[in-house]
Homo-oligomer: A and B are copies of this chain.
Amino acid sequence: MNGQGQLPDLKVIAFDVFGTVVDWHSGIAAEVAQVLPDVDSGAFALAWRRGYQPAMKTVMARIASGEGGFTLLDDLHLGILEHVLAEFGVTHLDDERKRELNRAWHRLPAWPDAVQGLTRLKRKYTICTLSNGNIGLLTDMAKRAGLPWDCVLSAEVFRAYKPDSRTYLGVAKVFDVPPEQVMLAAAHHDDLAAARGCGLLTGYIERPLEFGVANPKDVSPQPGNTLHARDIDALADLLGC
């Protein structure tokens, strides 16, 4: 396929990060195993991530009702960690050690294809993050993992969280291009559907092991996505980079 022929107007690719670019399950499980050798670290990682959706929904409802402001993902993660520690019967970590463990989200490893794939895409397109993670978290992560973003965009920039349309349309506005010149690349169909609803192109990235080798994910193609790629390096292939 000739990407240039196929999507001649594409200018910007915005990437979802957790699960799409970095392997949160392995990264969190590895740090948990070090700090809490007696717990099931894989199950702990899943529980921590599972707490994200309801916590985010609570924050979004608070914002919608006019009661509360924006919350950094670091603070959300720390709040969820308290619950997960209780759930796993861990009572001996002091606040400093909890904060240090919480920063494991800043140190997540990139999927093996990510740095090479992004580096190839960057030659032809502007590449940025579009994550509900806070700017500091995403910047620390990029610096450590060598992710070559042109810029770090986040819910924190738009004061709105995905799947709010202000985030997807915000990317187009930042770069002063129409939405159809922006692609969201993500491993999650709900994120892609919301972006598509705003007029963006969409690229699905397969991440069958997002939830760990014990919990393979269905990565079969779904209609509606502009592109379907095995990984980020394969996305660069599809786009002729």
Contacts and interface: CB of A to CB of B under 8 A. Distances in A.
Interface in A168-189: 174-176
Task: Specify which of A142, A156, A157 lies most central, judged by the most chain B CB atoms within 10 Å of its CB.
Answer: A157
Given A150-B143, A151-B151, A152-B152, A176 B74 contact: yes
A126 interface: yes
Contact of A136 (B74, B139, B156, B176): B176
B151 A126 contact: no
Contacts of A174: 134-136, 139, 156
A15 to B, nearest CB: 15
Contacts of A126: 139-140, 143
Interface in A48-87: 74
Interface residues of A, number: 21
A152 B154 CA distance: 12
Interface in A115-163: 126, 128, 134-136, 138-140, 142-143, 149-153, 156-157
A176 B72 CA distance: 11
A142 B150 contact: yes
Contacts of A151: 135, 138-139, 142, 149, 151-152
Contact of A135 (B142, B143, B157): B157
> 8 smallest A-B Cβ distances: which pairs?
A139-B151, A151-B152, A136-B175, A136-B174, A135-B174, A139-B150, A143-B150, A157-B157
Given A128-B139, A136-B176, A151-B152, 7 more contacts: A126-B139, A126-B140, A135-B153, A135-B174, A139-B150, A156-B157, A156-B174
19 contacts: A74-B176, A126-B139, A126-B140, A128-B139, A134-B174, A135-B151, A135-B153, A135-B157, A136-B174, A136-B175, A138-B151, A139-B174, A139-B175, A142-B150, A142-B151, A143-B150, A151-B151, A156-B174, A157-B157
